[in-house]
Structure 1
Amino acid sequence: MRSRRTIRRARAHPGAGPASGREALRPAAGKIEEVSSYPSEKIAVSRETAGPGDGGEGAAPFGGRAAGDRDRPVAPAFSPEQFAAAAGVSAETLRKLTTFDDLLLAASAMHNLVARSTLADRWRRHYLDSAQIFAALAPEMRTLVDLGSGAGFPGLVLAAMGEGRFHVKLVEARAKKAAFLSTAAAAMGLSNVDVVPERIESVRLSPPDAITARALAPLAKLLAYAHEIAGEKTICYFLKGQDVEAELTEASRYWRMTVEQRPSLTAPDARLLLVRQFSPKPGQRNAKGRVHAR
């Protein structure tokens, strides 16, 4: 039995009601395909470079442009109201998210929660990017685990959109970020969130209906993480950038999987991957370093 200290349950503020649940994002579905197989090798994957949700090398000062963004056209920054219209969220859900946003901005002045170069357009780069997962979630989905939740994208955004419909566990090992997530969830009045302040490799959870991750690791490594807690019917929802095809090719060397690609609502070269029925090929090491047998 897990210790009570394993999970921090966010306390909801009195009087905060549930969201309406009428979120209406509808990205176009892609074709479901079986990823081709390659000879099995031991998995050796380096950590993914900082993505839209992380600070790190290539990040620009606030208001500037990151090194990887120099050739991208600059679109006008999204407002919260534009986000709400694009994502189809209710006024109550938007209220919860603007509360989250106030805390994010205040904390970002002291800690590097997200890349500072993305803050000016955060309602598109972070909120809408996260919200697009909602429409892809299976209607019967009731439990979701967000791996490496960081600043709360996509986990807290999905929790706000899905309050009253499903429960979310945010797995975040870094103490400062886990504390921020607990504070934000409580301030938002969310009753469907638990923060799990543990390393992904060591966490023990019941198999969820859905697993999400954003700007965390390459696909092959994400699948190793997810496989430790996934059940037979678990679906993984991974947001991926311009290197998605290379990551799929690399992951297929170590994993059997069925993958559906959906176009991103926020970047033409990005994708939302839905991964089902994934299993390691013989000889691959799992997230704990153990070799899978035949």
Structure 2
Amino acid sequence: MGEKLKEILKDGALAADIDLTDSQLDKFEKFYEHLIEKNKVMNLTAITDERDVVYKHFIDSIALIKKINFDGKKVIDVGTGAGFPGIPLAIVTDNAEFVLMDSLNKRIKFLNEVIEICDLKNVTTIHARAEELGRDTEYREKFDYCVSRAVANMSTLLEYCIPFVRVGGVFVSYKSGDVTEEIELSKNAQKQLFCRIKDVIGFSIPNTDISRSFVVFEKKKELNKKYPRQGGKPKKSPL
């Protein structure tokens, strides 16, 4: 089983112009095995087929490193879920520091097991809600990059994620398909949160018909203290 996964992953990564080492392939394999094992008892992913996990989770997560250099940077993954994109990014960029945040404690426990099994020295986790942690001075405006593959309205995501980003830093939202309308609707949120679109990077996951967009926002100045709003407001009434 292992050789097949590694083969699929190595080929898929090369198609995305990423050359994975044997050590990295080992870590991805261990991550996959633990994900599938734990998925039997808790809901981590609806995608379990080897090839699908490789392309829709692993390759999708790491494709960003061809566009953004995380070397030596501090990165937070907001709403990481089963560890995407944070764990794959951490496996391929071992000299960047990653914080994985999720509001569900059992997911955090799972991620801590993955970190141990894969011997990831550059990853820590935190169990928290984004709108609360974003007000915590230890995390607020402390990161070079924030990434999120969480499924949410762009305006909501901006309010969750921009508070973590230092001035001059960047938030990257992983999105499916065409994002034109969503970006248009997030203009007020961009204005209120002092950020603006730096780039929209379209790409196709190799060997699939799946198209993705990385929407890259740059933070221009320090955030107003009222953001993020608490009590679920970013989700209930987006800016």
Give 1:225's aligned amino acid. Answer: Y
Kept in 1: contact 2:201–2:214 (CA 8 A): yes
Question: Does residue 253 of structure 1 match 2:188?
Answer: yes
Can you list the C-alpha shifts for 1:40-65, whole angstroms capped at 9, x where unaligned? xxxxxxxxxxxxxxxxxxxxxxxxxx
Shift of 1:255: 1.5
1:241 aligns with 2:176: yes
Q: Structure 1 residues 237 and 220, CA, compared in 2 at 3 Å: closer, same or farther? A: same
**Which one of 53, 56, 80 corresponds to residue 9 of structure 2?**
80
Alignment correspondent of 1:93: 24
* 2:128 paired residue number: 198
Which residue of 204, 213, 217 corresponds with 1:271?
A: 213
Following superposition, the deviation at residue 130 of structure 1 comes to 0.2
Aligned residue in 2 for 1:65 = none
Give the Å deviation of 1:279.
6.8
* Cα gap change, 1:268 to 1:142, in 2 (>3 Å): same
Q: What's the offset of the Cα at 1:119?
A: 6.0
**What is the distance in 1 between the residues matched to 2:35 and 2:58?**
12
More helix by share: 2
Determine if the alignment matches structure 1 residue 213 to structure 2 residue 148: yes
| Aligned equivalents of 2:190, 2:35: Cα separation in 1 | 36
Q: What amino acid is aligned across from residue 85 of structure 1 in structure 2?
A: L
Give the match's secondary structure for 1:262.
strand
- Check conservation: 1:144, 1:168, Cα contact below 8 A: yes
Counterpart in 2 of 1:26? none
TM-score, normalised to structure 1's length?
0.65
The structural deviation recorded for 1:176 is: 1.0
Q: Which runs of 5+ in 2 are unaligned?
A: 1-6, 235-239
Deviation readout 1:181-212 (Å, 9 max, x if unpaired): 10001100000110011111111315111100
Matches within 5 A, 1:220-235: 220-235=155-170
Shift of 1:83: 2.9
Give the one of 113, 122, 126 matched to 1:183.
113
Give the 3 Å change call, closer, same or farther, for CA 161–269 of structure 1 in structure 2. closer
Query: How many pairs align?
Result: 211
Change (3 A) 1:240 1:279: farther
TM-score, normalising length: structure 2: 0.79
Q: Secondary structure at the match of 2:60?
A: helix
Partner of 1:145: 76
The offset of 1:249, in angstroms, is 1.1
Q: Which amino acid aligns with 2:198?
A: V
Paired with 1:125 and 1:191, the residues of 2 have a C-alpha distance of: 25
Q: Is the 8 A contact 1:80 1:98 kept in 2?
A: no
CA distance in 2 between partners of 1:92 and 1:242 (Å): 33
Distance (whole Å) between structure 2 residues aligned to residue 118 and residue 225 of structure 1: 31
Any runs of at least 4 consecutive aligned residues in structure 1 with deviations exceeding 3 A, and if so which? 116-120, 138-141, 278-282, 284-287
Structure 1 CA distance for aligned equivalents of residues 229 and 71 of structure 2: 29
Name structure 1 gaps, 5 residues minimum.
1-77
Q: In structure 1, what is the equivalent of residue 100 of structure 2?
A: 170
Give the stretch that moved more between structures: 130-139 or 221-230: 130-139
Say which is worse superposed, 130-139 or 192-201, in terms of deviation: 130-139
Q: Distance in 1 between matches of 2:75 and 2:65?
A: 11
Q: How many Å apart are 1:113 and its aligned residue?
A: 0.7
SS of the residue 1:231 aligns to: strand
Which structure is richer in relative contact order (CA contacts within 8 A, separation 6 or more)?
1
Structure 2 counterparts to residues 94-133 of structure 1, below 5 A: 94-116=25-47, 121-133=52-64
Higher relative strand content: 2
Compared with structure 1, are the counterparts of its residues 286 and 202 closer, same or farther at alpha carbon in structure 2 (3 Å cutoff)?
closer
